Amino acid sequence: MIAGSVTQQLHFEKHLLGGSSQSLKIAFIVDPLGSLKAWKDTSIAMMRAAEKHGHDVYAIDCASLCWRRPEAGHHGGVFGEAIHLHLRPDDHDWYRETGRETMPLKAFAAVVMRKDPPFDFEYITATWLLERAEANGVRVFNRPRALREHSEKLAITEFDEFTPPTLVARNMQQIQHFIDEQRDIILKPLDGMGGSQIFRIHRNDPNRNVILETLTHEGQRTVMAQQYLPEISQGDKRILLIAGKPVPYCLARIPKAGETRGNLAVGGTGVAQDLSPRDREIAEKLGPILFKRGLMLVGLDVIGNHLTEINVTSPTCMVEIRQQTGFDAAGAFITAIEHACGVS
């Protein structure tokens, strides 16, 4: 870890009041383990950090969640098939399974919900089940109700003093008028991730109508249109909030040549950098508000001086930030979990 990051890490974790001497059982609700890419995956970075902190790490496939009514001979509540893991440093062979059994979620000190979108009915069902687990005393991060109530695209409408000119609509005439007004826009679905189905439309684009028809399903699906921000050439910045406080470095995801999207999933290059004064202003305004609602980890997307998304389902970029700056955001997140569990 570089010297500056040592100071930043100590300062950050001091604010979190962290440092655990007690081993916890922590379950991570994730997609199937075989689909995770250890060389870049934030969930795996969290698991490794948890084990490094001395905790027992379990993975639960979201598809295995279930609820059962208590009755004679059976405990009730929310259960999942829990895989006990030993984490390895080899990104090509990153874990060993040391046990597997169906366990009640109340057996864990903390449950970390890291299932990737799509935010479909199955995802919503998972939040309902996790909310029942919460009612039985289970600590879930991020809180299921907060996940359900914070659309990653629409959540910015609460903080419109930071957003670019934006329209949320499915009426094609309204969107057409917005394009004429702004002249150059970004159009995206409300349920996408990783840069999927994001279009840049110029006022004179010959494909303008067909793009609108396709994305809105002929006016049947609501989409988001935003003014195109040329500052994207300097990167779509991911700012992480942990327990309401901004990580001191963001990851600017810079589009590859000929591309308007900076997402790493579509070939963008991640460059870690210090937060700008504007980045910090946005983060320090939103952080306490979102944390109070049960959002332990949030990823803000900022282009230039404008907030474009608030990511709450499975924010990423911890691995790249640590590789480039030495700042261990995954470790800081586990410290926040320890504090929330009362063992700091």
Q: Of these residues, 236, 253, 279, 320, which one is catalytic?
A: 253
Please confirm, yes or no, whether 153 is among the known catalytic residues: yes
Respond yes or no: is residue 131 known to be catalytic: no
Q: List residues bridging with 61 in a β-sheet.
A: 30
Active site (annotated) includes residue 204:
no
Question: Is there a cis peptide before residue 118, judged by omega within 30 degrees of 0?
Answer: yes
Known active-site residue 311:
yes
- Those residues with Cβ within 8 angstroms of residue 303's Cβ, 6 or more apart along the chain or in another chain: 164, 229, 231, 232, 235, 236, 237
Catalytic position from the list 51, 139, 245, 311: 311
Tell me, yes or no, if 245 is annotated catalytic: no
DSSP-derived letter for residue 186 is E
Answer yes or no: 96 catalytic.
no
Q: Is 322 a catalytic residue?
A: no
| Separation between Cα atoms, residue 58 and residue 189, nearest integer Å | 34
- With both helix axes pointing from N to C terminus, report the angle between 42-52 and 329-340 in degrees, rounded to the nearest 10: 60
Both tokens of 151, joined, read 């659309």
309 is catalytic: yes
Helices (H), 100-255: 121-135, 144-149, 172-182, 208-215
Catalytic position from the list 48, 114, 143, 153: 153
**236, 309, 320, 338: which is the annotated catalytic residue?**
309
Q: Which of 13, 134, 301, 338 is catalytic?
A: 301
From the candidates 40, 188, 208, 322, give the one annotated as an active-site residue. 188
Active-site residue, selected from the candidate residues 261, 279, 322, 328: 261
Kindly state the tokens that stand for 149.
């109530």
CA–CA dist 129, 220 (Å, integer): 30
Residue of 139, 143, 208, 238 marked active site: 238
Task: Annotate 145-167 with b (16+ C-beta within 10 A) or e (fewer).
Answer: bbbbebbbbebbeebeebbbebb
Query: Which residues are part of the catalytic machinery?
Result: 153, 188, 238, 253, 261, 301, 309, 311
